[in-house]
Structure 1
Amino acid sequence: MSVDYQKLIHGYLDDSLSAEQQGRLNQWIKSDPGHARQFASYMMLHDRMRSELVASESDAAYVMLPDESRSTGWGRRSFALASTACVLLLAVSLLWQTVDAPSASAAMIQLNRIIEATDLPMDRTFLITVLESALSPKHQDPNSPERRRPPKPSLDGAVLDVRGSNQFVLSRKTAQGDVFVTGRNASTSWAVRPDGPVRFSDDLTRFTRDLPGHEDGLPIHHLHDGLESLRTGYHLELMPKEAATRGSEGDRTMIAIKKRGFRGADRVEIRYDESTGRISEMRFHQMAYGPHQITLTMTAIEDRVLPDDHFDHSSHHEPQRAVEIE
């Protein structure tokens, strides 16, 4: 423990900390269970010393009393010390919770700002980078339904265009280097494979299976709904400004950790401009994608207004291509 935090703890015991110092101490306690134990030890030692001083004063009154009376006095002090220890443990627990409350409140305010920025009438383009990919434990069996489906084109290096809450274009490359495009406009979803007919459907979810997150209600193409799901299914925490080392000076990072019992990526990191709420990068850890669990980043490339027909399949293939409805 550094001298700095020793001073903060002593200041807490003396009830002389400022609000800023209290916040620093709270953050230090919450950052490591070992810190919380050290803090509890200081508290218990402080209380024991105070109890011993009180006991010493009481002993003077008991010095001429019979042995039975002294034994009773010692028993009372032991019970008081044990009770104090329980109270201290409860106090540390409550302190831990009070640390979460203001932090969660600040994170929720920032999340609202991010959502408002994504709702602005602007088309957004992201570059997807896959950092890790492994078979999910429940799909280790080669005969599982997901394993029997044709493999999806790699998401690594894919480009995702997003408009509003329900329109997107996802452009990937197959192992042979051919372009495979799927998308959705306001009325249909569609797929333009490298060969064969173009397929489209009135079912808007028909071709969203090519995007990770649809299985767990955390769709990466539907930024508004995906961010809204963080409110209830995740613990939110703002990283200190100095921790946001990448990007511009105004960037900040929010961490979302999935709560027990909820679906979705295990962890979501959002790097954004603190003044505007504009997302610079999102990172999803251990997100379901077919039979795999993947970790990926979505890096913002450009905000712009794309042509109105960009989200129609006709903009992504030759006019003579056959088109079939599903």
Structure 2
Amino acid sequence: MFDNEKFSQLKKIQVNREKKEEDFTKIQQRLDSKPFHWQIPAAIIAIACITLFLAGTFPAQKLNTSVDLNKTAVQVVYYIEGEGDPSTSLRAGVKKVKNEETLLAIEGVLKQMQPETIGLDEALIYQSYRIKFENNTVLRLQQYWDYNQSYFKDLDTGQVYSLSENPLHNIISQYETDNKKRQLTISVVFFAIAFFVNGRLGKKLRDPYDPKRKIPMHSTHWQSVVEILSFLILIMMILFPQIHLFAVIAMLLLSALINIVLEARHDNNKWRMLQFLMSKLMIGIYLYIVLWKLL
């Protein structure tokens, strides 16, 4: 009796044919969807990370420091505030001067330097320079600024030079103002484009079977763990003096790669994968603006 009553109740249940068809359509779409083959892009990103990391940590070549300031033309000048070795503008805080007019003016300043016999062991270092000449020789100088004149110390010979004024700093500052504004403007434009594209990708993170429902940024908690660890590692890298740009890019690409692999194994959402890459690109541009152009 009881079974008959329950059976009669089940027979009275109305089946929503539209809902039934919609469910079957979703199941068929999932069966027809092609899986994302993540191995090839993962290998490409991994190779790029290794290449950039090696480039950022490759030991410097042996320097030829035999310089004749009266016979050799300046090719490029790298400098940094305070103490350091400005070997390349790809390191944080290092500025590059390659304008021909500015380099000619720097050549004239170098010829005005007078040898001194004073010691500068306890003096405060104002700026560090690496001056490369056309014959591949390099002059490494540290500048000490007194109230009356500037002193420069050759790091390879230990010789101290003096200038009655500070024209080297003034010449570079005059050139750097216009060049810095131009490069900063270009970087900000790229950041704005990346920010816009990242925002558009965020709007694409919708349930394909219910477009009104926005899906989470991460499909697994391990992706959140990767983001947190990446942020902490990035903070430690930034605190490291004169961090190489390639090392930062390699770290960002590696964190994006790990999250893409996790995404391929869980939800396999292509828009989320693209957002992982775009968000890391946006962070990289932001750090480049702050560490390489503003500081």
TM-score (norm 1): 0.22
RCO greater where, 1 or 2, for CA within 8 Å and sep 6 or more?
Answer: 2
Please identify which structure carries the higher helix content: 2
Q: TM-score, with normalisation over the residues of structure 2?
A: 0.24
